[in-house]
């Protein structure tokens, strides 16, 4: 366990379903992130939250909706997804958000493997 827990580990959903991914960290970190990792592509940053406030939306389609009720929890709500959205979705946290990773950088969860059918 890294200190960042993601549930579920695996998810299969139809294109008309609505589901949510959950991320939880008890590391005392103030910044949380969602990344998408597809086969043969680098890690793509989706959303950034700092002290519960969204600071970045990296041109993500509206069928992905993030929520950060507090600094320890992060959700990704999914609806009307497409098969090309199938990927590993990774949550990460860091001590703070800012220029320069002068701490130990990100702590990642194990991810949710999402398959859209």
Partner 1 sequence: LAKITQPISMDSYEGQEVNITCSHNNIATNDYITWYQQFPSQGPRFIIQGYKTKVTNEVASLFIPADRKSSTLSLPRVSLSDTAVYYCLVGDLVDSSYKLIFGSGTRLLVRP
CB of 9 to partner 1, least distance (A): 8
Ramachandran region, residue 3 (left: φ > 0; alpha: ψ -120 to 50; beta: rest) = left
Decide: is 49 part of the binding site for partner 1 (CB under 8 A): no
2 binds partner 1 (CB under 8 A): yes
Q: Which is nearer to partner 1, 36 or 85 (CB)?
A: 36
The span from the CA of 38 to the CA of 57, in Å, is 18
46 binds partner 1 (CB under 8 A): no
Pairing of strands 112-116, 53-57: unpaired
The reply to whether 30 sits near partner 1 by the rule CB under 8 A is: no
């Amino acid at each position: 366990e890294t200190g960042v827990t993601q549930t579920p580990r695996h998810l299969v959903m139809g294109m008309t379903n609505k589901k949510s991914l959950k991320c939880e960290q008890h590391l005392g970190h103030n910044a949380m992130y969602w990344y998408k990792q597809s086969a043969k592509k680098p890690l793509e940053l989706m959303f950034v939250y700092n002290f519960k406030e969204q600071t970045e939306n990296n041109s993500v389609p509206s069928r992905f909706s993030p929520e950060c009720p507090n600094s320890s929890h992060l959700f990704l709500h999914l609806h009307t997804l497409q098969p090309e959205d199938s990927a590993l979705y990774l949550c990460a946290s860091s001590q703070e958000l800012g220029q320069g990773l002068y701490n130990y950088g990100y702590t990642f969860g194990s991810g949710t493997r999402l398959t859209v059918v």
